[in-house]
Structure 1
Amino acid sequence: MTAGSRYLKRLNDGRNIWLDGELVTDLANHPAFRGTVRSVARLMDLQDDPELGPELTYTAPDSGARANLAFLPPATKEDVFRRGRSFRIWSDATFGVMSRVGGFYRSQLTGWYVSRDILREDCPQFPEKLARYYAHARDRDLLLTAAGHDPQVDRSKAAHELGDLYTALRVVRETEDGVVVRGTKLIATGGPYMDEIMVSPHSPKTAEERDYAVMFATSPGRPGVHLLCREPFAAEGEDNHPLSSRYDEMDAVLVFDDALIPWERVFINRNPEAIWKLRSDRFANAVSLHENVVRLASKLEFVAAVGTELAESIGITKFGHVKEKLAELYYQVQSVEALLASAEHRSKPCRPGVWEPDLQPIVTAKNLGNRYYPRALEILQQLSGAGLLQAPSSLSELNGPLRHHLRHAFRGADRDAGERLKLLKLAWELTGGGLGARHELYERFYAGDPVRTYAAQYAEYDKRLLLGKVDRKLG
C-alpha cells in the first residue's frame, strides 16, 4: 500500500465535517473535496517514487521507520540543506499553493520536540508526552495543521470576558481520562483532510485566562469535534479550472462540543506562561518558518512564470514598462531565494548536536512575502488587462459552432487559441477567482497582523552594530 493509499484510508475515521449545513459522509468523493484529497494523495505518493523518495524521506534512528524529512532534527548543516531541498520538491509539486500539506507544522512539532526540555520545570510531563506524540506522528507519516485564533466577537475584550457557550475554546472540567473542552477555534487551514490538528493559543493569554491556555492535539474524528467549512472554491474540470479543481485548501472553524481530550494528548493545561514560552522558542520558529519561506519562493516563481507566459503570449515583452513589471516579479523571487540561501548557509549549532537556520533572513523573507505576493498578482492583472475577462466560459467552445472564429480571435503571438485560453484561465484563477482572492488574503495575514510582525522584527533585530555608528563616523 502506497503512502497516498494509506492517507486515503485514514480519512474514514468518522470525522464531523460540515458544509452547507450538512454532514459530509464521504470526504474523498465529495465534489467540494475530492480534487484536493486526490492531490494530497498524489503528493504523499512522491515519497514512494524511486528518484524523489530518497530526497523526501529519511530513516528514523530510534524506530527504523521511513519518515518525511520535515520530521528530521537537523544535526548538521547538510541536514538543513536536505530539509530545504525536500521542502522545495514538495512545494513545487503544488506550485506553492498548498500551504498545510507541506512541512510547516510537521517542522514546528519537530522544533518543539528538540526544545521540549525548556518546559521540564513548568510542565514536568511535557517532554515525555511530546516525545511520544512526535514519534507517533513521524512514524505514521501524519499530516498536521493547527488552530489557535479565538472568534472575532469583540477584539477589545479578553477571551474570558466574552463568556458565551461557544465563544473561545476553554477547559470546562477535568476528569480521570482527560480534559473536557468547549468552544471555538479559528482557523484550521486544511483541517478537513488532515490527520491531526494542534490546538493552542496563537497569542498570549493572561492569568485570568488560564482556562483558555490549553495546548493539545486532536484528530478530526474525535467525538465532540466539529469542522465547519467555508464556502468551497473547488470546481470541476482541470482545463477550465486548473487550480481550484485540484488545490482548494479548505479552511475550517473548529467547534468543540464538550469534547474529551485524553491526558496523553494534553501537553499543557491551564498554563499561559508555558504555552507562550514554547511558542516563542527560537529553534522551533526557525525550522518551521524555513519551510514556509521555501514554499513562498516556489509560489512567487510560479506567479513569475505565469506573468512571463502572459507577456510572451501577446507579444508585449518589447515594451519598457512590461520589462519593468516582469523584472519586478523576478527580483521578488531572487530576493526571497537569496534570503533563504543566506539562512541556510549561515546555519549554526544552537545546542549540542542541533543546527539551526539563521532566523533573521527567514523572518525578513516572511515579512516581505505579505507585500510581495499581492503586488505580484497586481502585476499579472496589469499585464493581462481586460484579456482576463474575455475568455469564453469553457474551452470546449473552441470545438463548438463558432470554433473557426474563436480559434482566430483567441490565438496568441506565439501559440494557438487553446494554449492561450488555458493560460488565461490559469491567470484568472490566480488573480480574480475565489481561490485567488483567498490566497491573496492568506499571504497577507497567515503569519499574523503584518504591523505586529514588522514591529516584532524591529524589536528582535540586533541593533548593537548600528547604534553609535554614525557618531563614530562623525568623530
Structure 2
Amino acid sequence: MSTGQTYLNRLKDGRNVWFHGSIVQDIAAHPAFAGTVASVARVLDLQDRPETKERLTFVTDNGFRANRAFQVPSEREHIFQRSDSFRLWSDATFGVMSRVAGFYRAQLTGWFIRRELIRSKQPYFPDKIQNYYTYLRDNDLLLTAAGHDPQIDRTKLASELGDLYTAVRILKETEDGIIVRGAKMIATGGPYMDEIMVSPHSPKLQEEQRYAVMFAIPVNHPGVHLICRDSFASEREEDYPLSAHYDEMDAILVFDDALIPWERVFIKDDPDAIWSIRSDQYVSAISLHESIVRLVSKLEFVTAVGNELASSIGIKKFTHVQEKLAELFFQLESIKALLISAEHNAELHTDGGWSPELRQLNTAKNLGNRYYPRAIEILQQLSGAGMLQVPSSIAELHGPLGAKLQTYYRGADRNAQERVKLLKLAWDLVGSQLGGRHELYERFYAGDPVRTYAAQYLEYDKKALSDRVG
C-alpha cells in the first residue's frame, strides 16, 4: 500500500470536524476538503518513488524509513539533506501548503534532541517526548499545532475570563490523566492531520498555571471538536488552480472536558518550563529552517508568475516594469542568500545536533512577513485590471463566442487559452479567498511582526558593534 493510500485510510477515524454546522462524515470525499486531501496524499507518495525516496526519507536506528523532518542532524551534511527534502515537498505544492511540509515535525525533532533541557523542572518530559517523537516518526504521522488563546479580551489574563470555553486549561487530574476544557486557535491544516500539539505560543504567568499545559492528541480524540472556517476550496480546477488543490483549512479546537492520558501530557502547571523548551534557540533554528525553505519556494513561484504576467502583455521593456520585476528578484535572492548562509554557518550543539545559524533564519523570517505582501502588490501592479478582464470560465473560450474570445484574450506572446489560464492563476494568488488568506498568513504566522522585530533586536549580539565605536 502506498504512503498516500495509508494516509487516506487513516482519515477514516471518526474525527469531529465541524463544517457549516455539522460533522463531516468523509473528509476525503467532501468537496470542501477533497482537493487538499488528494494533494497531501500525492505529496506523501513522493516518498515511495525511486527518484525521490532517498531525498525525502532516511533509515532510522530501528530500520524504519522516515521523513527527513524527523532526522536528527548529527552530521553537518544532514542540514543540507533536510533542506533538500523540505524544498522538494514545498515545490510540490508551490510553497502554499505550510504545515504539510514539516515545520511541526521538525520542531518535535528539536524537542526530542533538547529533551534534557528541562528535566530538573519536569523529570518525565524527556521520556515522554522521546516516546512521542518515535511514535510519530516510525508511523510517518502528520503533525500540526494549536497554541493561541481565543481573541476575547486581550486586556485580561486567560484566568480572568471565566469558565465558559475560554482558553484551554486543566479542570482536574485523575489516575488516567488530566481533564481539559476550553479552546485553542488556530490548528492550520488540522482536519487533514494525524496529530495536534497543544501548548501556549506565548509566555504564561504564574497566575495562569492551569493554562500552562503542553500535550498532544490524535485528531479523533474523544471530546475534541475542530471548528472549521469557511472553505476556500473550489471544484473549478481550471479557473482556480490553487484553490482546487491547496486550501490548508484552519480550525479552532474546542475541548469538551476531554481526558488527556498522562503519557500525552508533557508539561503541566509550569509556565517557565514550557517557555524554556518553546523558546530554545536550537529548537527555533531546526524548525524555522523548514519555514525559510518553504518561503523561498513560495517567493520563487510568485516571481515566476510576475515574470509571465509581464511577458504576456509585452511590458518587460519598460523601465518601471523592470524595476518591479527586479524587486521580486531581489526578494527571492535575499531570502535564498540568508538561507544558504544559515546552512553553511551551521553549528554543532552541545546535545549533538547540528542546526543552521538562527540569526540569518530570523532575518529571513522577519523580512518574509513584509516581502510576501509586497510581492502580491507587485503582481497587482503588473496586471492592473487584466485579472478582472477574463471570462468567468476558461471553458467559454470553446463555447459559442469562442472564436471571438480567442482573438480578444490573446497575449503578446501566447494564445488566449494560455493567457487566460495565467490570469486565473494570478487571481487565485492575489484576489481569491485563498489568496487573501495567504497574505494574512504570511504576515502573522510567526507572531506579531512588531514583537518579532523587537525580539530580534533584543537577541542580537550588539557588543561587537559597540566595540567599534567605543
Q: How far apart are residue 354 of structure 1 and its match?
A: 1.6
Q: Does 1:16 align with 2:16?
A: yes
CA deviation profile, 1:76-131 (whole Å, cap 9, x unmatched)? 11000110011000100000000000110000000000000011111111100100
Aligned letter for 1:10? R
Superposition map of 1:250-265 within 5 A? 250-265=249-264
Aligned letter for 1:425? K
Q: Which residue of 2 aligns with 1:4?
A: 4
Q: Which residue of 1 aligns with 2:391?
A: 392
Q: Say whether the 8 Å CA contact 2:196–2:216 is kept in structure 1.
A: yes
Q: How far apart are residue 468 of structure 1 and its match?
A: 3.4
CA deviation profile, 1:134-172 (whole Å, cap 9, x unmatched)? 000000000000000001100011100001320111000
Aligned letter for 2:370? R
2:96 is paired with a residue of what secondary structure?
coil
Q: How far apart are residue 28 of structure 1 and its match?
A: 0.3
State the alpha-carbon separation in 1 of the partners of residues 116 and 446 from structure 2: 26
CA deviation profile, 1:383-427 (whole Å, cap 9, x unmatched)? 000001011110010011111110000001111100000000000
1:129 is paired with a residue of what secondary structure?
helix
Q: Say whether the 8 Å CA contact 2:113–2:351 is kept in structure 1.
A: no
Q: Does 1:158 align with 2:193?
A: no
Q: Which residue of 1 aligns with 2:336?
A: 337
Q: How far apart are residue 22 of structure 1 and its match?
A: 1.0
State the alpha-carbon separation in 2 of the partners of residues 271 and 350 from structure 1: 26
Q: Which residue of 2 aligns with 1:448?
A: 447
State the alpha-carbon separation in 1 of the partners of residues 419 and 100 from structure 2: 31
1:29 is paired with a residue of what secondary structure?
coil
Superposition map of 1:284-303 within 5 A? 284-303=283-302
Q: Which residue of 2 aligns with 1:241?
A: 240
State the alpha-carbon separation in 2 of the partners of residues 281 and 26 from structure 1: 39
Q: Does 1:52 align with 2:52?
A: yes
Aligned letter for 2:378? I
State the alpha-carbon separation in 1 of the partners of residues 10 and 351 from structure 2: 37
Superposition map of 1:384-463 within 5 A? 384-463=383-462
State the alpha-carbon separation in 1 of the partners of residues 151 and 275 from structure 2: 21
CA deviation profile, 1:329-352 (whole Å, cap 9, x unmatched)? 011010000000000000021115
Q: Does 1:273 align with 2:272?
A: yes
State the alpha-carbon separation in 1 of the partners of residues 385 and 287 from structure 2: 40
Aligned length: 470
CA deviation profile, 1:193-252 (whole Å, cap 9, x unmatched)? 100000000011111100000000001101100000001000012111100000000000
Identity %: 66
State the alpha-carbon separation in 2 of the partners of residues 233 and 354 from structure 1: 40
Aligned letter for 1:305? A
Superposition map of 1:162-173 within 5 A? 162-173=161-172
2:447 is paired with a residue of what secondary structure?
coil
Aligned letter for 2:27? L
State the alpha-carbon separation in 2 of the partners of residues 464 and 9 from structure 1: 55
CA deviation profile, 1:55-75 (whole Å, cap 9, x unmatched)? 0000011x2110000001101
Aligned letter for 2:45? D
2:89 is paired with a residue of what secondary structure?
helix
State the alpha-carbon separation in 2 of the partners of residues 208 and 359 from structure 1: 32
Superposition map of 1:339-354 within 5 A? 339-351=338-350, 353-354=352-353
Q: Which residue of 2 aligns with 1:197?
A: 196
State the alpha-carbon separation in 2 of the partners of residues 66 and 404 from structure 1: 54
State the alpha-carbon separation in 1 of the partners of residues 396 and 281 from structure 2: 55
CA deviation profile, 1:163-190 (whole Å, cap 9, x unmatched)? 1320111000111111110000000000
1:48 is paired with a residue of what secondary structure?
coil
State the alpha-carbon separation in 2 of the partners of residues 454 and 50 from structure 1: 43
Q: Which residue of 2 aligns with 1:81?
A: 80
Aligned letter for 1:22? S
Q: How far apart are residue 269 of structure 1 and its match?
A: 1.2
Aligned letter for 2:216? A
State the alpha-carbon separation in 2 of the partners of residues 95 and 2 from structure 1: 23
Q: Which residue of 1 aligns with 2:184?
A: 185
State the alpha-carbon separation in 2 of the partners of residues 186 and 348 from structure 1: 34
1:381 is paired with a residue of what secondary structure?
helix
CA deviation profile, 1:229-281 (whole Å, cap 9, x unmatched)? 00100001211110000000000000000011111100001111110111011
Q: Say whether the 8 Å CA contact 2:114–2:351 is kept in structure 1.
A: no
Greater Cα shift, 292-301 or 164-173: 164-173
Q: Output the aligned Cα RMSD.
A: 0.7
Pair 12,85 (structure 1): closer, same or farther in 2 beyond 3 Å: same
Task: Give unpaired runs (5+ residues) of structure 1.
Answer: none
Aligned letter for 1:350? H
State the alpha-carbon separation in 2 of the partners of residues 421 and 325 from structure 1: 22
Q: Which residue of 2 aligns with 1:316?
A: 315
State the alpha-carbon separation in 2 of the partners of residues 185 and 76 from structure 1: 37
State the alpha-carbon separation in 1 of the partners of residues 270 and 351 from structure 2: 29
TM-score normalised to structure 2 length: 0.99
State the alpha-carbon separation in 2 of the partners of residues 168 and 98 from structure 1: 27
Moved over 4 A (4+): none
Q: Which residue of 2 aligns with 1:43?
A: 43
State the alpha-carbon separation in 2 of the partners of residues 175 and 391 from structure 1: 62
Q: How far apart are residue 470 of structure 1 and its match?
A: 2.7
Aligned letter for 1:391? V
Aligned letter for 2:113? V
State the alpha-carbon separation in 1 of the partners of residues 293 and 132 from structure 2: 26
State the alpha-carbon separation in 2 of the partners of residues 299 and 407 from structure 1: 31
